[in-house]
């Protein structure tokens, strides 16, 4: 099963991805987490990415695609969840090519819908609690991350809609309810894959 979790910053993609990993034995591929790991390791790639991330801009497609391709080689487990990727149309098209070459097929793109005002207050809370404080979690950078989302990332919606892969979920409810909705969609797919 190959799933894309799609939605604005703070929509809850990471939380939902973790649950799906446990439930379905999938591997989570979060490009944001991979970049933060590279930064923590102090690698060359991490150094290049840090200032871009701290401004809320997109890291180059080249870096992102090479990270993703590397991870897709290991096909142990029941599939993949992409979280935070693809983030623009070029990445979406490149992903199709990579999957084609590996003879893998994308099953579903799940859009978690959350209004900008709600996102802003969620991230403000995250900062206040400073549990998962991130250097790009502040009002100004978040505004830019939201702009980038609306300008570049949302452009991939028509692409997946046309392919009949896009489903929408209301992400402004509790974690459990969102989870249940997602699992409802996934169980339909699983039935199709293995009736």
- The residues of the shown chain that bind ligand ADP, judged by CB under 6 A, are 9-10, 31-32, 35, 52-53, 56-59, 64, 84-85, 87, 91, 136, 145
User: What is the closest distance, in whole angstroms, from the C-beta atom of residue 18 to ligand ADP in the complex?
Assistant: 13
Q: Quote the least distance from Cβ 24 to ligand ADP, whole Å.
A: 21
Peptide bond into 32 cis (omega under 30): no
Coil, helix or strand at residue 167:
strand
State which residue, 41 or 188, has the beta carbon closest to ligand ADP: 41
Known catalytic residue at 173: no
Nearest to 146 by CA among 25, 11, 12: 11
Closest CB 23 distance from ligand ADP, rounded Å = 21
| Residue 41: active-site member | no
- Has 87 been annotated as catalytic? yes
Q: Of 19, 48, 55, 134, which residue is the catalytic one?
A: 134
Q: Is 134 a catalytic residue?
A: yes
CB-nearest residue to ligand ADP:
32
- Selecting among 19, 55, 71, 126, the annotated active-site residue is 126
Minimum separation from the CB atom of position 179 to ligand ADP (A): 18
The span from the CA of 27 to the CA of 71, in Å, is 10
CA distances from 132 to 86, 111, 124, 135 (A): 23, 23, 12, 10
Which burial class, exposed, middle or buried, applies to 53 when counting CB atoms under 10 A from its CB (0-12, 13-18, 19+)?
A: buried
Residue 182 is inside which H or E element, if any?
helix 175-193
CB 190, min distance to ligand ADP, A: 26
Is 126 tagged catalytic?
yes
Q: Which structure tokens are listed for 171? A: 């992400």
For residues 132 and 135, give the distance between their C-alpha atoms in angstroms, rounded to a whole number. Answer: 10
Residue 5: which of 147, 146, 108 has the closest Cα?
108
As annotated, the active-site residues are 13, 87, 126, 134, 145
């Amino acid at each position: 099963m190959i799933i894309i979790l799609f939605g604005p910053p703070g929509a809850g993609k990471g939380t939902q991805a973790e649950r799906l990993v446990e439930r379905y034995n999938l591997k989570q591929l979060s490009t944001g987490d991979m970049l933060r790991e590279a930064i923590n390791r102090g690698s060359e790639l991490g150094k290049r990415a840090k200032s871009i991330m701290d401004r809320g801009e997109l890291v180059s497609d080249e870096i992102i695609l090479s990270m993703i391709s590397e991870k897709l080689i290991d096909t142990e487990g029941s599939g993949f969840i992409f979280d935070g990727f693809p983030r623009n149309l070029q990445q979406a098209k490149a992903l199709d090519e990579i999957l084609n070459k590996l003879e893998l097929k994308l099953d579903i793109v799940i859009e978690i819908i959350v209004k900008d005002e709600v996102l802003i207050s969620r991230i403000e809370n995250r900062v206040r609690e400073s549990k998962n404080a991130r250097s790009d979690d502040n009002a100004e950078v978040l505004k830019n991350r939201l702009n980038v989302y609306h300008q570049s990332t949302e452009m991939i919606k028509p692409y997946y809609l046309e392919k009949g892969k896009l489903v929408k979920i209301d992400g402004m409810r509790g974690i459990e309810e969102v989870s249940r909705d997602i699992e409802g969609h996934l169980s339909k797919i699983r039935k199709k894959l293995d009736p």
